[in-house]
Amino acid sequence: MDPTSFDDLELELRKLPGVRAAGFTERDDMLVVQVQVAGDEPTANLSHQAARIAYRHADKPVALEIVRWRVIAAPPAPAVAAAPTTPVENNGADAGETDDGVDREADLPRQRVRLLAVLTFPDTDELEVHLTFGGRRIIGRSTAAAGITGAATATIEGLQTFAPTLGGRLEWCSEISEHQTETHYVVACSVVVGDQSRLGIAAGGSRIEAAARATLHALNRALEHLSDTLG
Amino acid sequence: MARQGGLGRGLAALLPTDAEPHPAGHLFAPIVAGGGVSDLGSEMVGELATSQSGLAIIYHALDALVAEHGLTDAAVIIDEPGLGRQVFRAGRKPLDDPGGEALLDAPPGLYTDPALSPGTVDASLVTSLCVVALRMEVLRYDSWHDPLTGLFDRRTFDRLLDMSIARSVRYRWPFTLVLVDLDDLKLINDADGHQAGDAALRALADRFRRVLRYGDNAARIGGDEFALILPSTDPEAVPPLLERIGSTRIGESVCPAFSYGVAQCPTEAESAESLVALADKRLYEAKAVRHEGR
């Protein structure tokens, strides 16, 4: 990448609402872009915009991670003193936590598989799901034309790289958004693991992102059982 | 998942006393003001006079700080009107490892890991020079880009075209120039207002950005005129490319109609004037055919 293009990439990312920092690392011939966003800023389309900017300026595959920070109040203190605040927390809204709608992270010391980005390449009809676990990043691939099914399949393929014994086969995947807007889609899916069907549901900024998140949701529990083999 | 990063000795003092330092974290510490004009400040002033990249100046300064003082890390925080709150870390590194994220809410200034002795570096000068460098970068960016569409502007296009022609003529590297004209912009403006016209221009520009390859360049060179510089692209490859641009869906919006003309360098012309004139002639021929077809 020529220096001007790199500068333009960083500056365009920093011009997005709420962006406070942008960092770059290169791994396995892939540019990993991390954007830190203040949690109190509007979020609409941020991941889309950042992905488009990164894709446009990069001369190699890009994985994008958006980390959102917010100040949260700690649980009410039993003492008379005012409740302390925790300085920073990542709510993972755009960073792709395997969020299942239930805040159980505090009870789970183990690391979780996280979704970094879902990218499509119209020129080659490719779709990539970028996942990370324990500092290791992998890409699951499928065809872009397959849409949400492709995103779910690519997610399963990526997870199988982390956990070869996971198995898993997509049974069905369906968009269930009632009010379709450009910024909010909901997808549900069912993944067969062994003799069990596991259901997942998630929202995302695009249909394919929602499908990837739903697949992670469906496989959350299976991944927990396999946590020892992950990585 | 709560992220509790490493809060260094210096930075920890800025945070609530119950925030536990992370044992594995970086030990970022603010540099206290004081000291004379340091070598680093002098170097930055010199770079501001000669460098075109404000971001490069910031990162050179942080990297130099790390190298010259044997530091583990360095960062600068800027919080200025018009620039917002921005954190830069040496090596363009992400903040998402121990210690880094704690900088997000720290006061503006220069931070190092480990702490430097007071007076080693004029922190306020270096921080202010970083602000100037960032403003310079924003000005550079704004002066190269069209504010409505975000594409390169006319002046940048002229420079890119000259560079492309010079390379093409010297090394016989072919490139194709495409002039694109948004159809009926005046009609859109008159019928639906200038906001609708602006939206149509942005819609076309967004599709250029979406479809063009890395290394291709797109510019808005006039009210409703765009130009594409496509290296190593045969003219025969242009119609399918523009067809794809026309059929690309972004959300619910549809691509506005456009016409285009193509010319190739160096086979058809070897100067900017003749290349643009040829593409322009073909553009207007295409427009005429389009009008006749109505």
* Sheet of A62-73, strand order: A19-27, A30-38, A62-73, A85-90
Is A59 part of the contact surface with chain B (CB cutoff 8 Å)?
A: yes
Q: Token digits for A222? A: 């299976």
Give the pLDDT confidence of B62-72 residue by residue, as tens digits: 999 999 999 98
Q: How many residues does chain A have?
A: 231
Give the pLDDT of residue B149. 93
Chain B interface, mutation test: which of A1, A2, A6, A11, most B Cβ atoms within 10 Å? Answer: A11
- Kindly list the strands in the beta sheet with A169-175, ordered across the sheet, starting from the edge strand earlier in the chain: A169-175, A185-193, A196-204
CB contact (8 A) between residue A34 and residue B94: yes
- Locus of tokens 């900088």: B103
Catalytic residue (choose from B122, B224, B234, B280) = B224
> Which burial class, exposed, middle or buried, applies to B212 when counting CB atoms under 10 A from its CB (0-12, 13-18, 19+)?
middle
Question: Which residue in chain A has the smallest CA separation from B214?
Answer: A59
Bridge partners of B177, per DSSP, are B229, B263
pLDDT in tens, B69-90: 999 899 999 999 889 899 999 9
Between the two ends of chain B, the Cα-to-Cα distance in Å is 60
Q: What is the pLDDT of residue B39?
A: 79
Of the listed ranges A106-115, A163-172, B182-191, B278-287, the least confidently predicted one is A106-115
Please list the ranges in chain B whose pLDDT falls under 70.
1-27, 30-38, 96-101, 251-252, 294
- Taking an 8 Å cut-off on Cβ atoms, the answer to whether A105 and B7 are in contact is no
Predicted local confidence at residue A86, as pLDDT: 26
Rounded CA separation A46/B173 (Å)? 38
Question: Residue A83 pLDDT > 50, yes or no?
Answer: no
Nearest CA among B131, B128, B130, B126 for reference residue B116:
B126
Q: Searching chain B, which residue's CA lies closest to the CA of residue A66?
A: B96
Could you tell me which residues come within 8 angstroms of residue A140 by beta carbon, excluding any fewer than 6 positions away? A128, A129, A131, A153, A154, A155, A156, A157, A158, A159, A161
Task: Give the pTM.
Answer: 0.64
Shortest distance, CA A195 to any CA of chain B (angstroms): 31
Q: How far is B86 from chain A (nearest CA, A)?
A: 5
Considering only residues 102 to 141 of chain B, which have any Cβ-Cβ distance to chain A shorter than 8 Å? 102-105, 137-138, 141
A167 — contact with chain B (CB < 8 Å)? no
Contact of B240 with chain A, judged by CB distance below 8 Å, is answered with: no
Contacts of B15 in chain A (CB under 8 A): 87
- Enumerate residues 6+ apart whose C-beta is below 8 A from B246: B207, B255, B257, B258
Is position B190 annotated as part of the catalytic site? no
Using a CB–CB cutoff of 8 Å, tell me whether B18 touches chain A: yes
Determine whether the interchain pair A87/B7 forms a contact, defined as Cβ–Cβ distance below 8 Å.
yes
Supply the pLDDT for residue A14: 93
- B202 in contact with A, Cβ within 8 Å: no
Question: If you average pLDDT over each of A16-30, A109-123, B181-195, which comes out highest?
Answer: B181-195
- For chain A positions 115-154, those within 8 Å of chain B (CB to CB) are 122-123
Residues in chain B with CB shorter than 8 Å from the CB of A98 are: none
pLDDT tens per residue, range A205-224 = 778 888 998 999 888 777 76
Chain B residue closest in CA terms to A97 = B1
Taking residues A3-12, what's their average pLDDT? 85
Query: Residue A27 — very low, low, confident or very high, per pLDDT cuts 50/70/90?
Result: confident
3-state secondary structure of A228: coil
CB B203 within 8 A of CB B257: no
Residue A41 pLDDT > 90: no
**Alpha carbon distance A92, A106 (integer Å):** 13
Average pLDDT over residues A160-170: 83
Quick one: pLDDT band at residue A230, thresholds 50, 70, 90?
low
Mean pLDDT of chain A: 72
Which range, A64-73, A105-114, B119-128, has the best average confidence (pLDDT)?
Answer: B119-128
Task: Give the pLDDT confidence score for residue A99 in this predicted structure.
Answer: 35
State whether residue A11 sits within 8 Å of chain B by CB. Answer: yes
Nearest CA in chain A to B216: A56
> Average pLDDT of A108-122?
69
Structure confidence at residue B4 (pLDDT)? 36
Check residues B254 and A71 and name the one with the higher pLDDT.
B254
- Give residue B99's pLDDT: 62
Is B273's Cβ below 8 Å from some Cβ in A?
no
CB-based contact A189:A218 (threshold 8 Å): yes
Higher pLDDT, B108 or A93: B108
Which chain B residues are closer than 8 Å to A205 by Cβ? none
Q: Do A21 and B251 touch (CB under 8 A)?
A: no
CB-CB neighbours of B18 under 10 Å: 11
